[in-house]
Amino acid sequence: MMPKTPLSFTLNGSETALFVDPGANLLDTLRRGAGDLTPKLGCAQGTCGACTVLIDGEPHLSCLTLAETVEGRDIATTGGLADGPDLHPLQQAFMEGFAAQCGFCTAGMLMAAKALLDRRPNPSRDEVIEAIGGNLCRCTGYEPIVDAILTAAARMQGRSA
Amino acid sequence: MSLTVNTVATLRDAAYALNDRARYLGGGTLLMRAVNYGDQAFDTIVRSRETDRTIRSEGQGIRIGAGATMTDLLASRDAEALHPVARVIGGPAVRNMATVGGNLFAAPPYGDLATAFLALDATVQMADGQSMPMESFLSARARSRGLVAAVMVPRTGPQEFRFAKVTRIKPKGVSMMSIAARLPGAGGSLGDVRLAFGTMGPMPLRAKAAEQALRGRSLTEDGIREALRVCCDGLQPGTDELASEWYRREVAPVHLKRLLLGRGR
């Protein structure tokens, strides 16, 4: 049996240290090792985006990230979006705008959207569509998702959508 | 499958560590997918703490480190000719991960960038110092056990290079085919044209008969007619979930015509 590898990183602002199997991906490490079940396993091949997390602020597919490569890095998941009982504006807009149907893609959508708004607080509709271009919604509810992201952006800028 | 991860300090060390049962980890979009699906062809992942993501002018072209990502390409003014290619590869997460070196090994329907490199007559630099034309590299890539260090791309004016990715899904999907063309003299009489198709064979392939048919001609309906007729000569399109071989052969001239005459959909 191959020895496990020690790994430490920051998960949603908290120092996290655990052991990973050789070849383990970040998604498994987050879900089974760190107990953060918000990133989802969809396709395991980089097509669906359900496992999207931010690594040092940039969106990455956690199912295709070798866990060992995130040593010392900053990981953000949907699990860290809310501030206690207060939802993040993106979560609030998704909820109010019925942007989640089955909800399986939502965690990845939220992180792709957060990466966009962190970089471009006032995106165009086309920029939103591009930002979630790697995230599939099998319920095909894309319009409410795009609307919700634009609504959140407007609220975060103190504007009406 | 029991895997070993061999983390080494330098790219040179990584090149030494590769063997028939070892695979190099670039951005992970190809290799980790294979891991997730239980690929038994390898049991060791080699990763290097040193990566080369530099993109810089060098001589008559640009040198792109194999570790440069699609996002890196899009951030580089030197790589501006490749922006239309990098922009249509995956979503932001894939572009943050997928590397130039990895794209050279991407099986259809992936490998759009390699298709562009083939049309641009790029050269592959291996970690052992060896260099080879992109066409030779791609034709032998299944047997390659070396490590790609960089790609050298001859400088090409934005008017001389055209690229089209044909997908079944809008706004973005994987390639049903991709077409890359280097068209020197595009405003008048065409010079040494290079035309490459992706997802029209097991690796990106040149349409040499069409290249020959375009030399000395102009980009008009008349000028490109013969090239359209022979554009599938030498290609080896297959049938997959996206399209049949027959369909690909039928529509290839249509998409090539749009590209050459500048008529996007």
Q: What is the pLDDT of residues A14-47, one digit of tens each?
A: 999 999 999 999 999 999 999 999 999 999 999 9
**What pLDDT, on a 0 to 100 scale, did the predictor assign at position A47?**
93
Q: Where are the domains of chain A?
A: 5-80, 89-156
**What pLDDT, on a 0 to 100 scale, did the predictor assign at position B146?**
87
**What pLDDT, on a 0 to 100 scale, did the predictor assign at position B1?**
56
| Beta-carbon contacts of residue A29 (< 8 Å; ≥ 6 apart) | A7, A18, A20, A67
Q: Does A140 touch chain B (CB under 8 A)?
A: no
CA angle B150, B155, B160 (to 5 degrees): 125
Fold of A5-80: Ubiquitin-like (UB roll) (3.10.20)
**What pLDDT, on a 0 to 100 scale, did the predictor assign at position B159?**
83
Hey, of A61, A75, A129, A146, which one would you mutate to test binding to chain B, going by the most B CBs within 10 A of its CB?
A61
CB contact under 8 A, B29 and A68: no
CB contact under 8 A, B171 and A130: yes
B109: preceding bond cis by omega (within 30 degrees): yes
**What pLDDT, on a 0 to 100 scale, did the predictor assign at position B265?**
46
What token pair was written down for B255?
Answer: 């998409």
| Beta-carbon contacts of residue B8 (< 8 Å; ≥ 6 apart) | B14, B17, B46, B47, B48, B49
Average pLDDT over residues A94-114: 96
CB contact under 8 A, A60 and B93: yes
If you average pLDDT over every residue of chain A, what do you get? 96
**Residue B140 to residues A42, B26, B68, B234, Cα–Cα distance (Å):** 34, 19, 23, 17
Q: How far apart are CA B180 and CA B177, in angstroms?
A: 10
Other Cβ atoms closer than 10 A to B196: 27
Q: Which of B7, B25, B92 sits opposite A59 (nearest CB)?
A: B92
Provide the ipTM: 0.95
pLDDT band at A161 (very low <50, low <70, confident <90, very high): low
Amino acid at A75: I
In words, the CATH class of domain A89-156 is mainly alpha
Q: Which residues between 96 and 125 in chain A have a beta carbon less than 8 angstroms from any beta carbon of chain B?
A: 112, 115-116
Flag whether pLDDT at A1 surpasses 70: no
What token pair was written down for A14?
Answer: 């908290």
Other Cβ atoms closer than 10 A to B12: 16
How far is the alpha carbon of B41 from chain A, nearest alpha carbon, in Å? 14
Global pTM value: 0.95
Q: How far apart are CA B76 and CA A3, in angstroms?
A: 41
**What pLDDT, on a 0 to 100 scale, did the predictor assign at position A17?**
98
Tell me the residue ranges of DSSP E strands in chain B. 4-8, 22-24, 44-48, 55-58, 61-65, 123-126, 131-133, 148-154, 161-166, 177-182, 194-198, 205-206
Strand partners, A61: A52
Other Cβ atoms closer than 10 A to B103: 27
Cβ pairs bridging A and B (under 8 Å): 93
Per-residue pLDDT of chain B (265 residues; tens, 9 = 90+): 589 999 999 999 999 999 999 999 999 999 999 999 999 999 999 999 999 999 999 999 999 999 999 999 999 999 999 999 999 999 999 999 999 999 999 999 999 999 999 999 999 999 989 999 999 999 999 887 789 999 999 998 878 999 999 998 876 789 999 999 999 998 899 999 999 999 999 999 999 999 999 999 999 999 999 999 999 999 999 999 999 999 999 999 999 999 999 865 4
CB contact under 8 A, B5 and A132: no
Torsion of CA A111, A117, A123, A127, to 10 degrees: -30
